[in-house]
Chains A and B, each alone.
Chain A
Amino acid sequence: MADAVLPDGFEDLAPWLGWALEPERARTAKKTESSMEELRAFYDVMMPRMEEIIAYLDGVPSDNRPAPAHRLYLITLSLVEVSNLVEIYKRRDVIEACDPLHFNPQH
């Protein structure tokens, strides 16, 4: 399907297209705006699919991904972005850190 939003086999991830964001600052901003429940729901859906996603993306040229594959790639980067909050901190109120957006990524 030429106008597919996500690659074949990953259509069920469509509810998470809001995470197909770039650059890094946009992913960080969405993370900071999301509740822990929203982050956990996203994480719980994505984690079991990671091996499958990596295998799929390895079959696509990384310097010229078609738009559906690129969206899938960006959603995967978002999973990495949120994983520390979900896996390590688990709660926001234990974090003593500056505002993540204060780090001002240049790329």
Chain B
Amino acid sequence: MKTVVRNKQWAEKYPDLGTEPVPTEPYYSDEHYALERERIFRRCWINVGRVDEIPEPGDYFVREIAICKVSVLIIRGSDGVVRGFHNVCSHRGNTLVLDERGSCPGSVYCHFHNWIYSDTGELIRVPDEENFFDLDKRDHGLTPVNTDFWEGFVFVHLEPEPAETLRQYLGGVADQLDGCPFHEMRLMQTYKVEEQANWKVALDAQNELYHLPFQHRLIVGDAFVKNDKGLIRFQDVNLYNYHSVWSCENNPTRALPPLESMLFDGDDEAPVIRIPQMIGEFDFFVVFPNFVLLLFDVGNSTSYISYNFWPLAVDRTIWEIRMHFREPRSTRERLQQEYFKCIIRDALQEDAFAHENIHAGLASHAKSHVILQDEEAPIRYFHKVLEDYCEFYRNA
């Protein structure tokens, strides 16, 4: 076992992180939400999806970054290149593509006056063009959005000149996970969970395991290594520039429920495909501000889940959960994946229930601060980065 079940080890590893209570106002304040719009979601690289979602020329998806009132069109052009544009027609500002995803090989047209754009963003046809005044179509292509890629993940940046490249921004997360075969894992299911909770309530609630033996005591409370008091200890915590990861080890003595035992203890000829980039057996990367990559093994293969927490309002969030597994090589492996999907989903349904109750408590203003223990250090770090960007208290 690699886990050291010692108390207060993360405060020792990161003494600058502090131990003070964390203020609650950022969870419910309209002013803080406005700062998040301008200083975080407009100034950070935001994950919007994966290139695998749009494999063919003309394939596209649209991502609403609601907090910024921005709709981004990610489209693979006839030249094979994936580009990002504001999803807005150059003529009168109509929203261009209305479907969340689809394919429009060759061109995209506006439903208002049928202005037509190539799938690489140039304006190529304007009905009644001769009746406009000095219209040069070359000047009126779609407005690009800074778009960059890492290991197949598509990120956008809403500022015209990002201060850092995506690679610089991802920093230690990219260093750790470079070469991870995300492209070999297929999207099996996406859940979109709308919650009456601040996006940080939902993210913070996922960003620790202290709650597991309590809130999830029946379903996954025994999943990971614990100390002699039955409390989970991380194997490791790493804080990067803006981002973080915590890792833990599976509990080797967990009693398996009958179906899990039947599916996982039976003969399995599937080859072992585990990735060397993992730190523990369950690695939870938070890519600031709203993206999570969660790596874990199912049977013989590494799988991953991604979360995107999309703020709709200060008290409304879409928690988007995407579960990815290897192409199964047997019926048993397919059922192992189904089993994991269901058990994680059912645990997350307990979380979704809790998020709304937590938000209600915080929004009541009853408590000025929340109190964090050492195993909640990743939450503390997230709020430190949040304040570094927002300067809500620094300028107060």
Contact = CB atoms under 8 A, between A and B. Distances in A.
A77 B331 CA distance: 11
Contact of A106 (B191, B263, B334, B356): B191
Interface in A62-98: 62, 73, 76-77, 79-81, 83-84, 87-89, 94-98
Interface stretch (A5-13, A14-22, A33-41, A46-54): A46-54
A79 B356 CA distance: 30
B266 interface: yes
B241 interface: no
B190 A107 contact: yes
Contacts of B335: 54, 76-77, 80
A12 to B, nearest CB: 20
Contacts of A57: 331
A57 B331 CA distance: 6
Contacts of A79: 259
Nearest to A81: B342
A28 to B, nearest CB: 9
A103 B258 contact: no
Interface stretch (B130-138, B167-175, B343-351): B343-351
A58 interface: yes
Given A62-B331, A84-B346, A88-B257, A77 B338 contact: yes
A79 B339 CA distance: 10
B345 A47 contact: no
Given A62-B331, A81-B342, A84-B342, A103 B349 contact: yes
Residue of A73, A94, A95, A103 with most chain B CB atoms under a 10 A cut-off: A103
Contacts of B338: 77, 80
Interface string B46-90: 000000000000000000000000000000000000000000000
B262 interface: yes
Majority DSSP secondary structure for residues of A touching B: helix
B213 to A, nearest CB: 15
Nearest to B191: A103
Bin chain A's interface residue count.
20 to 34
Contacts of B218: 88-89, 94
A87 B256 CA distance: 10
Majority DSSP secondary structure for residues of B touching A: helix
Residue of A62, A97, A100, A105 with most chain B CB atoms under a 10 A cut-off: A97
A100 B193 CA distance: 10
B365 interface: no
B219 A88 contact: yes
Interface string B141-169: 00000000000000000000000000000
A33 to B, nearest CB: 17
A54 B257 contact: no
B349 A58 contact: no
Contact of A97 (B190, B321, B339, B349): B349
A76 B188 CA distance: 17
A99 to B, nearest CB: 8
A47 B263 CA distance: 11
Given A80-B342, A103-B193, A104-B192, A47 B258 contact: yes
Contacts of A100: 346, 349
B340 to A, nearest CB: 10
Nearest to A95: B350
Contacts of B353: 96-98
B262 A51 contact: yes
B330 interface: yes
A46 to B, nearest CB: 9
Contacts of A80: 259, 335, 338-339, 342
B190 A84 contact: no
Given A88-B257, A96-B353, A98-B349, A83 B332 contact: no
Interface string B201-225: 0000000000000010011000000
* Interchain residue pairs A-B with the least CB separation, the first 5: A97-B349, A106-B190, A57-B331, A87-B257, A98-B352
Given A84-B219, A107-B187, 9 more contacts: A24-B189, A50-B259, A80-B338, A87-B258, A89-B218, A97-B346, A97-B350, A98-B349, A107-B189
23 contacts: A51-B262, A54-B335, A57-B331, A62-B334, A77-B338, A80-B338, A80-B339, A83-B259, A83-B339, A84-B219, A84-B342, A84-B346, A87-B259, A88-B219, A89-B218, A96-B353, A97-B349, A98-B352, A98-B353, A100-B346, A100-B349, A103-B348, A106-B191
